[in-house]
């Protein structure tokens, strides 16, 4: 991991040079890959997650590699903790330029259907996957408005654009993330804040590992995904880096599919 950072530094990649970025869900999977890619591109990081041990270790590793990174344990389902996360970024670095609002949970093992979907699972899914993004946006926007703008990427999903049987809470929350993303883009575009979403397809991470390891699932993915394979977390992180960077300066309110072509069918 750190060798990769040094290699990229030597090759002069600095798309996010000196930008201060918050990444939620940074201790694992797509968020962790995002932390590594944002760091490679020169961003100064505030990493957030429920998993303090893994998050602190990641931040320490990045600092050891000469990168600026702090970790703050944050439950994105708690508005006050999201406010404190943004406050920590501003206190430590003096500003906030970018955010990758990525923390999320899945509802597996999949319940039988909407009629039987557990009420407590619905509440938890909306609290983390939708309200968690709203809370982060609320305080991030306030900070970005004070310093003249910024760029935000929210992690949605293919489940934010089509219905998927058996996971109504996840699907509803991710559709909500898409709607929030577009609304923020419309509201704040004129004030130099861009807000986009990345919509991953089937990506192998600790969240999905147990399901994706099944031969049956791999066979299904090979047929339903035009790329004929499951994706990697780094392939989502690359989209987030690009969308946060100035190279995407006219991209606002977009839902960037990174799904091997799944939604194109």
Contact residues toward ligand NAP (CB under 6 A) are 24-25, 27-31, 49-51, 74-77, 102-105, 128, 132, 155, 157, 200, 202-203, 205-208
Annotation says 170 is catalytic? yes
Strand 150-155 to strand 44-49: parallel, antiparallel, or no bridges (unpaired)? unpaired
Catalytic residue from among 93, 135, 139, 170? 170
**Are the beta carbons of 11 and 90 closer than 8 angstroms?**
no
CB 240, min distance to ligand NAP, A: 10
Rounded to an integer, what distance in angstroms lies between the CA atom of residue 87 and that of residue 94? Answer: 9
Chain position carrying tokens 């910024």: 150
Rounded to an integer, what distance in angstroms lies between the CA atom of residue 10 and that of residue 16? Answer: 15
CB 174, min distance to ligand NAP, A: 7
CB 222, min distance to ligand NAP, A: 16
3-state secondary structure of 118: coil
Rounded to an integer, what distance in angstroms lies between the CA atom of residue 8 and that of residue 6? Answer: 5
Question: Measured from the CB atom, is 144 or 153 closer to ligand NAP?
Answer: 153
CB 261, min distance to ligand NAP, A: 15
**Closest residue by Cα to residue 104 from 29, 178, 43:** 29
Question: Measured from the CB atom, is 145 or 227 closer to ligand NAP?
Answer: 227
Catalytic residues: 170
């Amino acid at each position: 991991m750190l060798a990769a950072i040094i290699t990229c530094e030597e090759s002069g990649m600095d798309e996010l040079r000196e930008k201060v970025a918050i990444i939620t869900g940074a201790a694992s999977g797509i968020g962790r890959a995002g932390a590594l890619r944002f760091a490679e591109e020169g961003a100064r990081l505030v990493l957030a997650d429920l998993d303090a041990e893994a998050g602190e270790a990641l931040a320490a590793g990045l600092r050891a590699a000469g990168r600026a990174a702090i970790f703050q344990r944050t439950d994105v389902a708690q508005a006050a903790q999201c406010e404190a996360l943004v406050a920590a970024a501003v206190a430590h670095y003096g500003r906030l330029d970018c955010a990758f609002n990525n923390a999320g949970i899945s509802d597996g093992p999949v319940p039988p259907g909407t009629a039987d979907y557990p009420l407590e699972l619905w509440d938890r899914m909306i609290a983390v996957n939708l309200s968690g993004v709203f809370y982060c946006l609320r305080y991030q926007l306030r900070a970005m408005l004070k310093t003249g703008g910024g760029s935000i990427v929210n992690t949605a999903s293919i489940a934010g654009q089509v219905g998927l049987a058996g996971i109504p809470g996840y699907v509803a929350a991710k559709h909500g993330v898409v709607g929030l993303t577009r609304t923020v883009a419309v509201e704040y575009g004129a004030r130099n804040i861009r807000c986009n979403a990345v919509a991953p397809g089937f990506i192998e991470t600790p969240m999905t590992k147990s399901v994706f390891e099944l031969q049956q699932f791999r066979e299904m993915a090979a047929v339903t995904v035009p790329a004929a394979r499951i994706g990697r977390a780094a392939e989502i992180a690359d989209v987030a880096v690009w969308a946060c960077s100035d190279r995407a300066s006219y991209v606002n309110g977009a839902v960037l599919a990174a799904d091997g072509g799944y939604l194109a069918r």
